[in-house]
Amino acid sequence: MTADIQPQTAADSPGRGRPDRRRRVPLRTKLAFSSGGFQEGMVVAGRLTTLIFYNQVLGVSAALCGVAYLIASIVDAVSDPMVGAISDRFRSRWGRRHPLMLMSALPIAISFYFLYQPVSGLSEGALFAWQVCFLVLLRIATSFHNIPRDALGAELTDDYHERTSVFGWYNVVATGAAVGLSLLVLNAVFPSTPEFSNGLLDPNRYVILAGFGAVVVLAAVLVCTFGTADQIPHLHATTRRRFNFRDHYGELRQLLANRSFVSVTASWLTIAAAQGVLDMVNIFTWIWVYDLSTEQFSVLAFAKIPGIFVALPLAAWMTRRFDKKPTVIFTSAVSAVLVAFPHVLRLAGLFPGNDSALLLPLLFGPLFVGYALVTVMAIVVDSQLVDIADDHELRTGSRAEGTIFSVREFAMKATEGFGGLIGGFGLELIRFPQNAEAEGVSAGTLTGLLVMSGPLCLVIYGVGILFMMLYRLNASRHEEIMTVLEARRAARATGAGGG
């Protein structure tokens, strides 16, 4: 009979005692959990090429590319909360998170491969349909890994600061993976050649991206899933609930009545949209405004390296010194200014010309600090979402890590989705040519690229910061919440033991 006991229930039984919910998580577990960041890092590296591949290489109009991202984002808005709810309610002897994570491995790899390997000879309309199909499949598949994985991370500890460490390690590894894989993609997969001064315009190199990326995402999902399987006994024991739409949307209504949840959700989605515009449009800006080769703008990846080393200790220090809300507001504001700084100066005519030796240092120098602060912000937002799960349990008696972290997943994909939508229609609005390599780009169009990369992103970031000001939780309030929750859990355990 023992073999049939679910690990979560067994770990929570009166005979074995309740697990220490405020424990320090072992470093090995943090690293195994963080290995899933290589999957996200590979998707980020691929994202550098997606819009330019479909628009400039395959000839799909920028507006249609924007519509593809819009469709994918609409699907995400429906599917991500559902995946979160399914993960919260799923039951098996291997827990409620790990089976879904494992199930996602092959679909992620297959959809990544075919997104960058469409069938030859397709018309523009058929290419658009292909992009929509595999973009949507990739995003749904990644949801079935990322949302249960993030919910797993939220369950590892109840300690207010230790959970910052758990997600800090994840964000550091994910950033490092994105840096390393982006450098590899830009310099090894898409090097400049005599035929293509910018390797991203070489159609023959995308099969390498497709195959390599599929292997990386498959390996990352498997390592993360099996590497954290020994933590199943330490996760929250919850009552068995079958998934149904009425309960699902009821829980969403309860979350939307939580001011802190709405604050983080709106802030994170808004800032993700700004980052998405940068990710999509900056490739065009580097190539046609600043006349950089793939090797030159791969320096951008190096700008993220300091953040790998300083973000985790900086996030820990700032949240202990200033708490989480002020940390997010400060890091968001400063990083937005630094990221937009070169483009605003170029618009004002105060930035060095493309032939200047100062171009690369001034273009990428501010980003060394800016990207480190972006990583700090991401770490702290993840930690805030776990605090909201505690607040939600206090209010409703139900934990909803999966549903809550579906917001994080939606925000991560909104980086590509809304970024692609705004970027695609923005390129159409400024009349960016379909074949810019042959036709050239007008001065007005170049100005449009700078406006999207600079002032527009500053405005969007500013809106996100305003939303964050509505957040209510802090360290003292969280301590009050945990005192009540621990008393409730102890009472339930005593009642179960007495029964």
Distance CA 203, CA 229 (A): 41
Cβ-based burial of 469 (10 A; exposed 0-12, middle 13-18, buried ≥19): exposed
* Matching residue, tokens 């919440």: 481
Mean pLDDT by 10 residues, the chain (499 residues): 34 42 81 92 89 92 87 84 83 83 96 96 96 95 91 82 85 87 90 87 94 97 92 68 66 87 90 82 88 79 79 92 96 94 94 92 89 90 90 86 76 68 82 73 92 93 96 94 89 66
- Report how far apart, in Å, the C-alpha atoms of 12 and of each of 21, 47, 254, 474 are: 11, 42, 27, 29
Structural contact between residues 64 and 197, judged by C-beta atoms closer than 8 angstroms? no
Spell out the alpha helix ranges (H) of 90-123. 98-103, 105-115
pLDDT at 171: 83
Domain ranges of the chain: 24-232+247-486
Query: Which pLDDT does position 10 carry in this prediction?
Result: 35
Contact 15, 214 (CB under 8 A): no
* Under 8 Å between Cβ of 453 and 278: yes
Q: In the structure encoding, which two tokens stand for residue 212, read together?
A: 């390599």
Q: 402 with 493: CB under 8 angstroms?
A: no
**Given its phi and psi angles, is residue 292 left (phi above 0), alpha (psi -120 to 50 degrees) or beta?**
beta
Q: What is the pLDDT of residue 19?
A: 54
pLDDT of residue 342: 92
* Among the listed residues 282, 305, 295, the one whose alpha carbon sits nearest the alpha carbon of residue 197: 295
- Choose the CATH number for 24-232+247-486 among 1.10.300.10, 2.60.40.10, 1.20.1250.20, 3.40.718.10: 1.20.1250.20
Q: Report if pTM > 0.85.
A: no
